[in-house]
Amino acid sequence: MSDIEIPESHPRYESLLTRHRIEDGVEKGITSKQGLIAQGRGEAFDYLLGEKTTESADAAERAAAAHFLLAEHPVISVNGNVAALCPGELVELAEVVGADLEVNLFNRTPERMQAIVDHLREHGAEEVKGLTADGRIPGLDHERAKVDADGIGDADVVLVPLEDGDRAEALSEMGKIELVIDLNPLSRSAQCATVPIVDNVIRAVPNITRHARELKGASREELEAIVDGFDREAALAAAERAIRDGDT
Ligand code: ATP
Ligand code: MG
């Protein structure tokens, strides 16, 4: 991974490690410089959440797992931050729920697209979509509208960790079931999600995988009951309370 050494006893060990992963991502051409700013914004929210998965985030992660297992064609959208932070975990989730991985960038350049595809392959991914870009999300400008027609274009369920607000809204207008991971419950991405997951991607992705493994034997009825029992407004309100009042 990185050649830096942080003693595990350091009280900010996890947070420092995360920063180094993002820094490494920028050096490898995977993460954009804008990604550093997004990371900083996320860290502030995570700090206020006590850097842990709240009960309501865990329930959202379970609902996301149920959506994945009910989906006909689930896709995991990958950007430069998540590729740097948890590539192996994304590949594992995709395997467990039978989802496609598709690279989708806000600051799209051919070099970064390719670097992320290669990075995911190094972490065990076989097929990675995103380079064909023969589909469009209606309502967005040309560069940001690009998706693979047989990937996100065709998906019924899309996991978008750290998606930009505009694109998250456009995807939800296309009628997709959108699972959004974003540490800011006030972010437009979280606000328009079918399932807003207010948690750090580093914790959220492996926890969705864990729930999916547990739910693999469940019937459609059981999965639908989990999906129906999830209340997005309550989840957003609980996350905001946790941040404002420390009520975790
Ligand atoms: P809006 O959604 O309100 O339009 P934005 O999407 O333009 O705002 P950015 O700061 O660009 O705002 O988006 C980055 C988002 O990603 C922030 O909401 C931040 O909390 C979130 N974020 C950053 N790092 C992580 C992480 N590791 N895990 C989860 N969320 C994160
Ligand atoms: Mg946002």
**Contact 57 CB / ligand 1 (< 6 Å):** no
Query: What's the gap in Å between 202 CA and the centre of ligand 2?
Result: 17
What pLDDT shows up at residue 1?
46
Residue 154 lies in a domain: yes
Report residue 38 CA to chain centroid gap.
13
Tell me if 83 sits within 8 A of 25, measured CB to CB.
yes
Q: How far is CA 14 from CA 40, 101, 156, 227, 245, in A?
A: 14, 26, 34, 32, 24
Structural domain count, the chain: 1
Residue 33 lies in a domain: no
Cβ-in-10-Å burial (0-12, 13-18, 19+) of 103 comes to buried
Residue 45 lies in a domain: no
Among 20, 34, 41, say which to mutate for ligand 1: greatest number of ligand atoms within 8 Å of CB. Answer: 41
Expressed as residue numbers, the domain containing 131 is 55-243
Among 23, 32, 61, 162, say which to mutate for ligand 1: greatest number of ligand atoms within 8 Å of CB. Answer: 162
What pLDDT shows up at residue 3?
56
Query: What's the gap in Å between 220 CA and the centre of ligand 2?
Result: 32
Residue 174 lies in a domain: yes
Q: What is the residue whose two structure tokens read 């600051």?
A: 107
Residue 51 bridge partners (DSSP): none
- The angle that helices 87-97 and 201-215 make with each other, rounded to 10 degrees, is 20
**Each residue's pLDDT tens digit in the chain (248 positions)?**
445 677 888 877 888 889 999 999 999 999 999 999 999 999 999 999 999 999 999 999 999 999 999 999 999 999 999 999 999 999 999 999 999 999 999 889 999 999 999 999 999 999 999 999 999 999 998 888 999 999 999 999 999 999 889 999 999 999 999 999 999 999 999 999 999 999 999 999 999 999 999 999 999 999 999 999 999 999 999 999 999 998 76
Residue 34 lies in a domain: no
**Contact 41 CB / ligand 1 (< 6 Å):** yes
Residue 74 lies in a domain: yes
Which CATH number is 133's domain given?
A: 3.40.50.12640
Residue 16 lies in a domain: no
What pLDDT shows up at residue 227?
98
Tell me if 22 sits within 8 A of 31, measured CB to CB.
yes
Residue 30 lies in a domain: no
